[in-house]
Structure 1
Amino acid sequence: MAKSANSVKSRRGRFFSGLALVAACVGLVILLQTANEQHSWASTEAVVQERIKSGKNAKVRVEFPLPGGGTHVTTLSENGSIHETGTRVEVRFDLGGDGKVVDAALADNDQGFWVMGVMLGVVISGLVVLNLVAWTPVRPSPAQR
């Protein structure tokens, strides 16, 4: 097999296949850390005030009580099931040091993490195979022996 600049077994091909594998693994680690972090946030029940549909994206404006009293209104992405106005949903939220909501998410948005995790897992599996192909030694043909 002749080595060309475009070959996976070339130096450049090995570098980029390894780089892509590292990038996909880092992406999976970040995704898992984000999902784990959201599960550690406080959760409460919220009421959907409005459902906003824009093209393929849907968001809901929710109102929920804060631990120190008072309420918070925010707009959250709807990644899981459809929530109509007036329905009760579970919301996870992260409070800052000043008692204000830093970030919030619907508790049923785990589906988005699962989809992204499976997609990254498939990409990583393919890149592992590509790296195995790139780094296996080239066998000389019978004519070259």
Structure 2
Amino acid sequence: MTTPPPSDPFAAAPGQPEPVQQKKGGGLLKKVGGFVVLVIVAVAWKFGVPYLTGDAPVHAKVGECVIVTGPDNAPEVETQDCSSGKADLYKVAEVHEDTFDPNKCDRTKYSGLAQQLGSDKFVLCLEEVAAK
């Protein structure tokens, strides 16, 4: 008498199609893909969140008006209508890109306000708008 071979738990029952064998491997591709996703999320978080939450510096253009609030070591800038008549209203006279040096502004005419977020840095040269 012969012993029947051991049954394969993954074998198809008679009359059923063969089960699909899952391929092993692809682990490196999954790891690289996961790393790429992680890098994208980190970059989006670093540069996107401040803009979405309003913590990003205002990159006002020449001719726009702004109000500057907050402490000297972390000023907050908000654009305003130049005709608002609000106190502490300044008009942007010059913008200097790729610098963090407020001395780029003619200090006899303007106040220099340096702003930086990541590698984006610039100086706003501001002149006070007379209150109405």
- Is the shorter-chain TM-score for this pair beyond 0.5, marking a shared fold? no
**Structure showing the higher helix proportion among its residues:** 1
Bigger relative contact order, structure 1 or 2 (CA pairs below 8 A, ≥6 apart): 1
TM-score when normalising by structure 1:
0.28
TM-score when normalising by structure 2:
0.30
